[in-house]
Structure 1
């Protein structure tokens, strides 16, 4: 349990670092159990996806609640997964590729971080095969914080047609790359609106 709590504390800091400066006024909002609808995007986040449990709060980065992050966690014999999903409109005139590059900045600052792979990925629903960009990184023990274990960490960015919405996730796993949970399968369990499929 302490590992999950330490990782959540680290990712609370990443929530601030992972969004553009224009969107950094953040507020945590309690969300009830059961499916939770993010009304501005039309996305419904269930209590569980792929065995990972949703947290009991959502983080909003703007007063209207348009820019939101929702977290899930999973612990099994292979490790601990902390998954944070972001749904937000583009900021600062960045296109999809620029949004991905901007999101990499918060990962590349960690000591000893190493990119393992990068390529195309399916849309959140799996409907379109090469609609997103995904990268995987190895962060050594102590690279994020002196007390944190080695992590395998993913970054994913999908832009909706017309670049009206972005779906991003950060997923960090304390186990090996070979045992990393199938986050793409988890994404397919979320009720995405047609514009984000």
Structure 2
């Protein structure tokens, strides 16, 4: 077993350190369209060029969950996109964003913070509704040797709603995936409270 085979698995575990809940259960053999029952949002097998991987639930009722998607280029892993949908918490939107940033810098000691920007809501309908920040750091994403990657943290807090939508996208630094990631988010049929 080589480290290059373990790299995507290790990355997936590391990305999950920024989760809002402590326990996790992998959803075994999820159907082609896996549903987050509480938030009423469906996650298909494919989102554009991204293929669904692992699904996790972090509490007993499944209201706190994540769905991972992988992007491959030339038969190799090029990006991991993990979308989290979970109930709002006592930290509020700003506190949740700060907490997620702290989890990244704890996990990746060499992480360098880029500029924060405002992005649209998940379906793209409401401009400047979400916060996003980009980090860069070395990571063995495609091979045994660490290479520079970009890692984006996005958080959408619907006004007056009880749900948060967060994603982490980690990909090779020489790629520009902003358009593909936005298209993947828009490919999901978000219910009204999460748009």
Which of the five TM-score ranges fits, normalised by the shorter chain? 0.7 to 0.9
Equivalent runs, 1:174-193 vs 2, <5 Å: 174-178=172-176, 182-193=180-191
Equivalent runs, 1:41-60 vs 2, <5 Å: 41-55=39-53, 57-60=54-57
Distance 1:178 1:100, change over 3 A: same
Query: Partner of 1:28 in structure 2?
Result: 26
CA distance in 1, matches of 2:69, 2:150: 16
CA distance in 1, matches of 2:172, 2:4: 9
Query: Partner of 2:165 in structure 1?
Result: 167
Equivalent runs, 1:70-149 vs 2, <5 Å: 70-77=67-74, 80-91=78-89, 93-109=90-106, 110-141=108-139, 148-149=146-147
1:34, distance to aligned residue in structure 2 (A): 2.1
1:90, distance to aligned residue in structure 2 (A): 1.8
Q: Does 1:13 align with 2:14?
A: yes
* Stretches of structure 1 lacking an aligned partner (at least 5 in a row): none
* Stretches of structure 2 lacking an aligned partner (at least 5 in a row): none
1:175, distance to aligned residue in structure 2 (A): 4.0
Shift >6 Å, 4+ stretches? none
TM (norm. structure 1) is: 0.86
CA distance in 2, matches of 1:185, 1:4: 28
1:107, distance to aligned residue in structure 2 (A): 1.4
1:183, distance to aligned residue in structure 2 (A): 0.8
Distance 1:3 1:54, change over 3 A: farther
Q: Alpha carbon RMSD of aligned pairs, Å?
A: 2.4
TM (norm. structure 2) is: 0.87
SS of residue matched to 2:94: helix
1:31, distance to aligned residue in structure 2 (A): 4.1
Preserved CA contact (<8 Å) 1:95 1:163:
no
Query: Partner of 1:62 in structure 2?
Result: 59
Distance 1:195 1:80, change over 3 A: same
Query: Partner of 1:152 in structure 2?
Result: 150
CA distance in 2, matches of 1:166, 1:11: 20
CA distance in 1, matches of 2:77, 2:173: 4
